[in-house]
Amino acid sequence: MQRILRPKRFNQLWPFYLLAAPGILYFVIFHYIPMSGLMLAFKEYSPFKGLINSSWVGLDNFRQFFGTSDFYILLKNTLLISLLNLVIYFPFTIILSLLLNELRLKVFKRVSQTIVYLPHFLSWVVIYGITISFFGPSGVINHYFTEWFGGSANFLVSNEWFRPLVIFQSIWKDAGWGTIIFLAALAGINPEQYEAAKVDGANRFQNIWHITLPGIKSTIVILLLLRLGSSMDSNFMQIFLMTNSLNLDVSNVFDLFVYHIGLEQFNYSFAITVGMFKSVASLILVLGANYAAKLLGEEGIF
């Protein structure tokens, strides 16, 4: 078998290249050729002059971007939301999958799984609507707050509550969905290990700590790396809806900035500049984290 799979010359290999060709072409045409559009970050793009004829402006767009007083605020807000997602939302999905995994009654487990997936299918607009009716100034929670304590909490109209609410929304909507991959990894752990541990007198928590968690460690690392790669992206729809004039200090993130300056003002070059910055920053983050993972003896993603 080994021999057949390792032929040496092209005339033996061409059927395989032929098979791969559509995939390669797809990436070249739809993913690599469009990358030429990146040069717009260095041009003053006018849709009517086209990609080629728009005039070059060098690093002006970058200078303008890094020069705005908002840059550090944007960076801080974007990273903070990602970081909070990483330290709160992400472990939450792991804990949730561990809990689901401990369920012994098959039917109950299936039903619970389906129920925790459901919110994932709601759109952000619906979730924002629900958020308003619960946390809004005239929402359910404030209604009882006023009745019991005489005061009200400014959930949606203050800087303090913005981040907790955004994380809470993410967990509410997507935590169940996030368990899918972990549950698959958990299913791959050899049950004999548990039986052996049981014989040795391990209790449930020791099982989780010594068998389950190490069993899904590589999955956790890979998902963590992938999340790092998108840490410069915010969930645009979510943030866009949650923004108002009273929480702009903490809610203004790169994606929102691109929308306001790039799209609302027809400033395409500037939008691409910001996009490019985000991508390069993400690339560095992922490469760094991947390197760190390798140092720690994990597999990493490449």
Site map (CB under 8 A) of another protein, residues 245-264, x = contact = xx-xx--x--x--xxxxxxx
Q: Which of 3, 6, 9, 31 binds another protein (CB under 8 A)?
A: 31
Instruction: Output the smallest distance, CB 281 to another protein, in A.
Output: 10
The CA distance from 146 to 151, in Å, is 5
Q: Which of 15, 22, 47, 151 binds another protein (CB under 8 A)?
A: 47
Q: Which of 7, 12, 26, 37 binds another protein (CB under 8 A)?
A: 37
Cβ burial, residue 91 (10 Å; 0-12/13-18/19+):
exposed
Q: Which of 25, 72, 83, 138 binds another protein (CB under 8 A)?
A: 138
Asked whether the beta carbons of 141 and 155 are under 8 A apart, the reply is yes
Please name which of 81, 227, 93 lies closest in space to residue 164, comparing C-alpha atoms.
Answer: 81
Which amino acid is present at 135? F
Residues 82-121 binding another protein (CB under 8 A) are: none
Cβ burial, residue 302 (10 Å; 0-12/13-18/19+):
exposed
Please name which of 113, 59, 84 lies closest in space to residue 234, comparing C-alpha atoms.
Answer: 84
**Whose Cβ is closer to another protein: residue 202's or residue 301's?**
301
Residues 219-248 binding another protein (CB under 8 A) are: 226, 229, 236-237, 243-246, 248
Instruction: Output the smallest distance, CB 50 to another protein, in A.
Output: 8
| Coil, strand or helix at 56 | strand
Site map (CB under 8 A) of another protein, residues 116-135, x = contact = -------xxx------x---
